[in-house]
Amino acid sequence: MEKVNYRASNARLTIGVLINSSSETLSIEQRKPSMAVQTKRWFINQEGPNPQSLQIAFSWLQRQMTTSPAHQGLLAVPVKKTLENIKGALGEETAKQLQKNNTVQLKSGKLHLMTESIRRSSWAGPVLVLYPPQRLLDSVDELQSVSEILVVPWSVPEVQPWIQMWDVYELGDTSPHPPKTFLNPTVRAALESLTTRINLSTGLSHPSDKAAAIDMFRLLHVAGEVFNPDEVKSWLVSELGWRPQQANEAAEIAQKVLSGRTLRAANHPRWAADIVSMWREKGAQYPI
């Protein structure tokens, strides 16, 4: 193990971390998963069972299906039983066919079903998500090649972390949003360092990567740097290319460190002795 040098160049700082000498340090952009499609996301601001909101949502989905290359759409609900509660908007026969076959042919294209137990790894087209818990939202966000996502929440607070994570617009809103910022620039720099040293395809599953995350949050906490686990997850997913489930693990570690929980990590240091100072130096360079 050896320490990678760091230097200031063109007002940018390359953070030194402890990594295997045979490894190559890659930039954040190089480590992000390749995304051929930039997913657009919206939500409908509503509460509870609202027939009008459902009609708007299904009309949106059918329009997107008509214009999508594959003429197909995906309906994501927590469980199949949810279909019984929305058959007034979906149509009784359509709901029945979805429950039975997980797919149904409509005039606008083929509609497929996704639930927390009926999973998919990719989807080329639009997705309508109804009354989702966080687990379902994470599963939808992990789908590759999705063109658009519209979420109809049971209550907006339940999906507020998702809205903030992706800076989601309310359906029909075209007003510009301010650029997304991370509240603590030192923690942002630390998360970038963690991202450049792990394998994003496996997240924190490797013991050394998990140990690095534990030590990172401990160092930040001891140094008095403030961080919020929800914000950590949000930034890792939306800005640094982590999968939601992997970011959940990092956020859980952050919460345990804040709570004073005992976590097992490596006996030897995973970061340079002055790494927090280096993170602070890089964080000071971020635009305000």
User: Taking the CB of residue 23, how many other CB atoms lie within 10 A of it?
Assistant: 9
How far does Cα 245 stand from its chain's mean position? 8
How far does Cα 7 stand from its chain's mean position? 31
| pLDDT in 10s for each residue of the chain, 288 residues | 333 333 333 333 334 444 333 333 455 555 555 444 589 999 999 999 899 999 999 999 999 999 999 999 999 999 999 999 999 999 999 999 999 999 999 999 999 999 999 989 889 999 999 999 999 999 999 998 999 999 999 999 999 999 989 999 999 887 877 777 777 999 999 999 999 999 888 889 988 899 999 999 999 999 999 999 999 999 999 999 999 999 999 999 999 999 999 887 666 668 999 999 999 999 999 876
State how beta strands 12-13 and 8-9 pair: antiparallel
Residues 60, 78: Cα–Cα separation, whole Å = 20
Residues 221, 224: Cα–Cα separation, whole Å = 5
Single pTM value for the model: 0.78
Q: What is the DSSP letter of 175?
A: P
Half-sphere exposure of 75 (CA within 13 A, CB side): 32
Mind listing the domains of the chain with CATH numbers?
A: 40-170 (3.40.50.300), 182-283 (1.20.1290.30)
146 three-state secondary structure: strand
Residues 94, 101: Cα–Cα separation, whole Å = 10
